[in-house]
């Protein structure tokens, strides 16, 4: 196996999974895919300026992402006003990077624009159903990921911020969001202070299927993934999630952590706010 890919695959998917993945020998390491295999999220940044022209370039690249039906339902707001930044960051003291990242852009699903276009062209229609919401959310997510990949390729570090949605009414007020326009995620970015680390993904044995969805060996693959991930980055007992609710587990790993996280759902304020924004989800 090509050693450069092999190393990246091991880092990303674990030793056993990397051996199961096809031999990539002969494929150029300079492909975007090779860089994406090694990508990582960054939450700490230097004070160095991120030039406006670069941010503009990345925004235009993001808005070049694929768009469902060419409806173009993503909009971006860069938050430059320090008072607005502080207001958005205030509810999240556990995520200080929201306030201190050099730059912060909010990626919006914009289901309103299509309605405005219909009105202007004499074909007024509602885009407030599930289809309108979903398409706008997907467009915004594609723009977000396109921005991230281009920014990382330029040496920047990024961290998406979906917790914003937990305070959607505040975000709507601070950013002056009209009806049918909603935040998908914010994005912190700047020049990273360190190399960061590659976050291990579930093995393709679980996530990559051919022809039919299959679940064979799921529990065993998951156990193996947990073990390898813990061996790399052990979770000290003091870092277990919500021990006051769940106790301290003897064996802890990604799956226990995610099960605990999912058992404490967040974002209850988002659906009622979306309905107030006019979405019916029909
Ligand atoms: C849509 C989305 C929302 C996210 N929201 C947050 C967030 O609110 N706060 C945060 O610190 N990280 C957030 N993240 C970053 C993830 O925690 C991170 O991507 C994940 O741990 C995997 O790390 P990696 O991107 O380096 O592989 C988000 C990522 C995505 C894709």
| Tokens standing for residue 5 | 């890919």
Ligand 1 contact via 186 beta carbon (within 6 Å): no
* pLDDT at position 3: 64
3-40 pLDDT, tens digit each:
678 888 899 999 877 777 767 777 777 688 889 999 99
218-247 pLDDT, tens digit each:
999 999 999 999 999 999 999 999 999 999
Per DSSP, what are the bridge partners of residue 182? Answer: 109
* pLDDT at position 53: 98
* pLDDT at position 41: 98
Mean pLDDT of 80-94: 98
Using alpha carbons only, what angle is made at residue 199 by residues 197 and 201, rounded to the nearest 5 degrees? Answer: 155
53-62 pLDDT, tens digit each:
999 999 999 9
Atom of ligand 1 nearest to the CA of 184: 1
Ligand 1 contact via 142 beta carbon (within 6 Å): no
Mean pLDDT of 181-186: 98
Cβ atoms of 188 and 99 within 8 Å: the answer is no
Q: Is the pLDDT of residue 186 over 70?
A: yes
* pLDDT at position 2: 55
* pLDDT at position 271: 97
Ligand 1 contact via 161 beta carbon (within 6 Å): yes
Q: Is the pLDDT of residue 114 over 60?
A: yes
* pLDDT at position 15: 84
CATH topology (fold) of 52-195+265-276: NADH Oxidase (3.40.109)
Rounded distance, CA 97 to CA 78, Å? 15
* pLDDT at position 89: 98
Q: Is the pLDDT of residue 252 over 70?
A: yes
132-177 pLDDT, tens digit each:
999 999 999 999 999 999 999 999 999 999 999 999 999 999 999 9
Q: Is the pLDDT of residue 212 over 90?
A: yes
Ligand 1 contact via 46 beta carbon (within 6 Å): no
First to last CA, the chain: 50
Rounded distance, CA 178 to CA 175, Å? 9
* pLDDT at position 27: 79
Taking alpha carbons only, the member of 120, 142, 133, 121 closest to residue 180 is: 133
Rounded distance, CA 146 to CA 73, Å? 15
Domain boundaries, the chain: 52-195+265-276
Rounded distance, CA 62 to CA 76, Å? 9
Specify the residue for token string 């999974």: 17
The predicted model scores a pTM of 0.96
Distance 152 CA to ligand 1 centre (A): 14
Atom of ligand 1 nearest to the CA of 141: 1
Using alpha carbons only, what angle is made at residue 246 by residues 243 and 250, rounded to the nearest 5 degrees? Answer: 75
CA pseudo-torsion sign 102, 190, 167, 173: positive
Nearest CA to ligand 1 atom 14: 160
Ligand 1 contact via 160 beta carbon (within 6 Å): yes
Atom of ligand 1 nearest to the CA of 40: 26
Average pLDDT taken over every residue of the chain: 95
Residue in 41, 100, 140 to alter for ligand 1 test, most ligand atoms within 8 A of Cβ: 41
Mean pLDDT of 90-116: 98
């Amino acid at each position: 196996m090509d050693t450069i890919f092999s190393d990246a695959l091991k880092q990303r998917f674990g030793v056993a999974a990397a051996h199961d993945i096809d031999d990539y020998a002969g494929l150029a390491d300079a492909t975007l895919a090779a860089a994406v295999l090694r990508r990582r999220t960054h939450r700490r940044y230097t004070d160095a300026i991120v030039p406006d022209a670069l941010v503009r370039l990345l925004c235009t690249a993001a808005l070049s992402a694929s768009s469902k039906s060419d409806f173009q339902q993503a909009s971006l707001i860069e938050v430059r006003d320090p008072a607005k930044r502080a207001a958005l960051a205030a509810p999240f003291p556990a995520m200080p990077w929201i306030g201190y990242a050099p730059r912060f852009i909010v990626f919006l699903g914009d289901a309103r624009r299509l309605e405005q276009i219909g009105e202007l062209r004499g074909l007024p229609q509602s885009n407030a159903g599930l289809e309108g919401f979903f398409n706008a959310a997907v467009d915004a997510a594609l723009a977000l990921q396109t921005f991230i990949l281009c920014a990382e390729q330029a040496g920047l570090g990024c961290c998406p911020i979906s917790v914003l949605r937990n305070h959607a009414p505040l975000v709507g007020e601070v950013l002056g969001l009209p009806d049918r326009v909603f935040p998908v995620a914010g994005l912190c970015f700047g020049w990273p202070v360190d190399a960061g680390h590659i976050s291990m993904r579930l093995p393709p044995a679980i996530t990559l299927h051919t022809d039919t969805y299959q679940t064979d060996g799921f529990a065993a693959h998951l156990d193996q993934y947990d073990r390898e991930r813990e061996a790399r980055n052990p979770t000290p007992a003091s870092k277990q999630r919500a021990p006051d609710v769940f106790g301290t587990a003897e064996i802890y790993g990604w799956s226990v952590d995610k099960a605990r996280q999912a058992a404490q759902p967040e974002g209850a304020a988002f659906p009622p706010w979306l309905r107030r924004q006019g979405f019916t989800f029909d």
